[in-house]
Chain A
Amino acid sequence: MKTHVLTLALSFILCLTARAELKWEQTAVELHPAKGDKQAIGHFKYQNVGKTPVHFKSVHASCGCTAAQSQKDQVGPNEKGEITATFNIGDRTGTQIKTVTVETDESANQKTVLTLKAVIPQELEISPTFVFWKQGEKADPKSIAVHAGKEFSVKHIKVTSSSPDFQTKVQETGEGQFKVDVQPNETNRLMASTLTIQAENSPKTFYATARITTAPTVPGAHGVPGAPTIQKAPAAPPGGPTAPARPPAPTSQTH
């Protein structure tokens, strides 16, 4: 009886020591890209501390915005390497958490989830980014709050409306805090405006939208018949978005 148990235990220990095993330096990385960065790249280093080679079966990211790459397909005993995860920031804001799932032929731990956390600096926080009036509603002003993000010092902002049908007024409400009042000239017709908001001495532009909407939902309106044409915000070129090209007679307010 004792011999059987001993044999079983020995086989178990032998299996453990002979196996291939990737040891990760870290499975979670936190990145703080600088203002204007387009990508955040995380490096996940590993070493095969086992006695047999490890083969990567798949490496895939949780979203299309992240590309994950392995340097090699096979990792020999004691060999080191890394998985690179490239996160495309795009127009994302705040804290972003993306994962990369690595699948190997290890007997013990075939799947490893690597986590990439990117904290994207935000110069201005705007809330809400959309104000609307129902058609025929009283044309009272509506407010948008603009706050400077942490680590940013903003003394003045400039707000420009792409349409002269909407007026804007900026008021400073505290240090790095502003209130933008938006008011349509009338609400009897469907119209819209893109508001560009810019901190002084900064090339980065933020957007909000003001609209006169149809009231209430019209069945069959899907596909947007009857919806107003609005000033389209421009695509974000390298280095960040720019102001709309030739907005029709913009009106602006600076504080």
Chain B
Amino acid sequence: MRERIPLEKLLLEIVDDEFAEAPARSRQVSQDEIGEMVARKRAERKPRTGDDSES
């Protein structure tokens, strides 16, 4: 017969998993890191010119 997991225990495990993932999903970033993120986005937005050569 399968072991039955009490609902409360199950919910606590789910919540624990959520909290464990949260820092990875949304960690605090420094101003320098933000600067790098902004620079990357700015480079993406910059329209490419006909002079751009890429092999």
Specify whether A and B are partners.
no
Interface of B toward A, CB cutoff 8 Å = none
